[in-house]
Amino acid sequence: MHMKLYLSSYRIPETKSLQDLLEKPLDETTVALIPNAKDYYSELAWKYKVQSYVDYFQNFCMTVNVVDLREYDNSEPLSNELRKSDLIWAAGGNTFCLRYEMKRSGFEGCIRELLTEGKVYGGDSAGALVAGVSLRGIEKADIPEFASKVLPDGLGLVPYMVLPHLGNPEFTQAMEHAKLLNKQSPIIELTDTQAVIFMDNEHRVVEGEIEVQLE
């Protein structure tokens, strides 16, 4: 399957690889921001958290469209909306909230088609995790009960379990638990300044120099 993905622990640690995937500069890029990993927050806190992502992308002079999956019930109108953007970015937060809405809204049914059309999927933390094959063990880091239904499998866009926050003491126990439960799956681990780039059947890890301030 033709696919281009940029998966990180935190935001965009290294910009050149993302621009290479997009085949255009960031300041000419439109991004569809999927904010639903933040759905466990109150409405005011949700807006604040989402705005911090919007501001972040706008600092690169990117055009940002917030696409709240809760506003969609099937894949056709959702895919039409996502098709307006070059980059589809799933923000970090609660992995189970994000995964639930990706299923309920029809996102999981249309993302592969969008990838074959040349769209780029990006995500950090929870947004990176859901792209992989499994979410088992992540309940040690994210509260599953915040989601209306707990789904243990990822989208399977890549044939790996993608584990962010390697070396971050806050997540060490959870990630070790996840590795224990997913011994059958190949695992890619990322520090808070790394991203993994997928281009068709090849992938590589890139290192950035961003200052990490996890929310």
Sign, CA dihedral 115-119-125-126, equals negative
Percent with pLDDT over 90 in the chain: 92
Q: 213 in a domain, yes or no?
A: no
Q: 84 in a domain, yes or no?
A: yes
pLDDT digits (tens, 9 = 90+) for 159-189: 999 999 999 999 999 999 999 999 989 999 9
Pairing state between β 187-191 and 161-166: parallel
Q: 45 in a domain, yes or no?
A: yes
Which residues 6+ apart lie within 8 Å of 48 measured at CB?
none
Predicted pLDDT at 103: 98
Predicted pLDDT at 205: 97
∠ Cα 3 83 61 (to 5°): 90
CB burial string 106-125: b at 16+ within 10 A, e below: bbbebbbebbeeebbbbbbb
Q: 212 in a domain, yes or no?
A: no
Predicted pLDDT at 201: 86
pLDDT digits (tens, 9 = 90+) for 108-122: 999 999 999 999 999
Measure the CA–CA gap between 97 and 28, rounded to whole angstroms: 31
Q: 53 in a domain, yes or no?
A: yes
Measure the CA–CA gap between 127 and 31, rounded to whole angstroms: 14
pTM comes to 0.95
Predicted pLDDT at 214: 53
Q: 215 in a domain, yes or no?
A: no
Domain housing 195: 4-207
pLDDT at 215 over 60: no
Mean pLDDT, all residues of the chain: 95
CATH code of the domain in which 49 resides? 3.40.50.880
SS3 per-residue string spanning the chain: CCCEEEEECCCCCCHHHHHHHHCCCHHHCEEEEECHHHCCCCHHHHHHHHHHHHHHHHHCCCEEEECCHHHCCCHHHHHHHHCCCCEEEECCCCHHHHHHHHHHCCHHHHHHHHHHCCCEEEEECHHHHCCCCECCCHHHCCCHHHCCCCCCECCCCCCCEEEEEECCCCCHHHHHHHHHHCCCCCEEEEECCEEEEEECCEEEEEECCCCCCCC
Predicted pLDDT at 5: 99
pLDDT digits (tens, 9 = 90+) for 139-166: 999 999 999 999 999 999 999 999 999 9
Predicted pLDDT at 2: 76
User: End-to-end CA distance of the chain, in Å?
Assistant: 34
Predicted pLDDT at 211: 55
As for how many domains the chain has, the answer is 1
Measure the CA–CA gap between 118 and 6, rounded to whole angstroms: 13
Q: 21 in a domain, yes or no?
A: yes
Predicted pLDDT at 17: 97
What is the greatest pairwise CA distance in the chain? 42
Q: 183 in a domain, yes or no?
A: yes
